[in-house]
Structure 1
Amino acid sequence: MRKAIQVLGLVLALQGASGAIDHIAVQPFLGIFLNFFNRVIIPRVAFLTGYELFANLALAALGVVLMIAAERAPA
């Protein structure tokens, strides 16, 4: 279970970082998968409009926190 949570954290961190890069410039690598949050979720959530970069960076931070928490959790 710990590895699954770590993988989820890694995916969230990659999606957040990729979305931030895509918001600033163009993300050519795995754009459909890595920019899912940036292109599908953010436009559908009204309070995130105008705060796309912040939302992507917060998603990346959440992913890192999730990976750290899964590593420190007792087995």
Structure 2
Amino acid sequence: MRKPVETVGGLLVLMGISGTIDHLAYQPILGPFLNAFNRYVFPHIELLRGYEVFANLLVGVVGVVVIAGARRLR
């Protein structure tokens, strides 16, 4: 059970970093997949308008927390 949770955490870290890069400059590598939050979710949430970079970084931080939590599982 630990490896799938770590994989999800790693994916969230990649999505957070990639979304930040995509918001600041165009990032073409796996853009529709890795930048899904940045392109499809965040524009539809009024609360996050203007704070997309912070939201993407928060996704990355959540990924790190998920990885750390998964490593504590037995």
Q: Does 1:15 align with 2:15?
A: yes
The SS at the match of 1:71 is helix
**Unaligned runs of at least 5 residues, structure 2:** none
State the one-letter code of the partner of 1:13. Answer: V
**Residues 39-70 of structure 1: CA deviation (Å, up to 9, x unaligned):** 01101111011100000000001001100110
| TM norm structure 2 | 0.95
Misfit runs of 4+, over 2 Å: none
State the identity %: 50
In structure 1, C-alpha distance between the alignment counterparts of 2:20 and 2:7, rounded to whole Å: 20
Count of residue pairs brought into register by the alignment: 74
**Unaligned runs of at least 5 residues, structure 1:** none
RMSD: 0.7
